Amino acid sequence: MQLPALDMPVFQPGWVWLAGAGPGDPGLLTLHAVNALNQADVVIYDALVGDGILRCARANTVLEYAGKRGGKPSLKQRDISERLVELARQGKRVLRLKGGDPFVFGRGAEEALSLREAGIPFRIIPGISAGIGGLAYAGIPLTHRDTNSCVTFLTGHNASGEVPDSLDWAAMVRASPVLVIYMAMKHLDILVAKLSHAGLAGERPAALVQNATLPEMRILVSRLDRIVADAEAAQMAPPALLVVGEVVDLQAAFGRSDLQATLTMGAACQAAS
Ligand code: SAH
């Protein structure tokens, strides 16, 4: 893939580049990520990095999968870090490619620390996080002057797969008019219960966006007290983001014809293609 003459960095052997691939649409790769794909000897990629993106790697690049697929357990985080170190020590140019941004709920920090500990030189390449780019594709702005000047991003599960217990739900609900929740599907009912218990009104607009930015993108617009039932009826599945707040209403107000045709408050959920 040709890059404009931008004086992009050279990928040195023995280095690891820890890069974000964006939410899915290959058009959302950064030039730095494309530059990395152009030069890498090995790409270690996660489940959220699709074929469209891997096709951007140069011929002969070894593609190694490090995610969860087909019911098989994912590689342990320690195994992934060890593999990165091992390949770098073999003198490979190692591209560690993650969905979205590597430092947003992506364990990029853990890998960076392991590389540092092992004395492996590395570079961080940010990516467009799903909570930003994905919601934009769904027509949901994160901020709007009339509704909010603050957004909170949180994760629906922690390292052991449970809803994080360290969160102060009441404080979050009071302080932040818009909440964007990653990994929202596994414990959707618990998350919604926590938000209601913390004081969010049942009629608060809420949406789920599945496979954002991809041709299979699905958007479910609902409200807090109905979204669990609506999600079940529409068989919403991961990867999906939950967004709660008035900004959800702007999605319909934008009147984007491709979205508007497929959306009905509180019920419908179809592909937004
Ligand atoms: N580092 C990633 C997030 C990894 S956590 C980023 O910055 O985007 C994985 C979660 O991200 C998923 O459970 C889902 O909530 C969200 N996600 C990632 N890609 C997505 C997509 N294309 N559509 C919807 N949600 C997505």
State whether 89 and 186 are in the same domain: no
Measured in angstroms, how far is the CA atom of residue 103 from the centroid of ligand 1? 12
The per-residue pLDDT for range 148-184, each reduced to its tens digit, is 999 999 999 888 888 988 899 999 999 999 999 999 9
Residues taking part in catalysis: 46, 68, 183
pLDDT band at 68 (very low <50, low <70, confident <90, very high): low
CATH of the domain at 201: 3.30.950.10
State whether 187 and 226 are in the same domain: yes
State whether 20 and 121 are in the same domain: yes
Is residue 72 pLDDT above 80, yes or no?
no
Q: pTM, whole model, 2 decimals?
A: 0.91
State whether 73 and 115 are in the same domain: yes
State whether 153 and 54 are in the same domain: no
- Within-domain flag for 6: no
- Within-domain flag for 57: yes
238: Cβ below 6 Å to ligand 1? yes
Q: What percent of the chain has a predicted confidence (pLDDT) above 90?
A: 80
48: Cβ below 6 Å to ligand 1? yes
Q: What is the C-alpha separation between 117 and 229, in angstroms, rounded?
A: 47
Q: What is the C-alpha separation between 50 and 24, in angstroms, rounded?
A: 7
- Domain range for 196 is 139-254
The tally of domains found in the chain comes to 2
Is residue 43 pLDDT above 90, yes or no?
yes
Is residue 53 pLDDT above 90, yes or no?
yes
- Within-domain flag for 8: no
239: Cβ below 6 Å to ligand 1? yes
pLDDT at 8: 93
- Within-domain flag for 83: yes
State whether 146 and 121 are in the same domain: no
In the numeric block, which tokens belong to residue 199?
Answer: 């004081």
Q: Give the burial string for 98-111 (b: 16+ CB within 10 Å, else e).
A: bbbbbbbbbebeeb
Assess contact for 220 and 208: CB atoms under 8 A.
yes
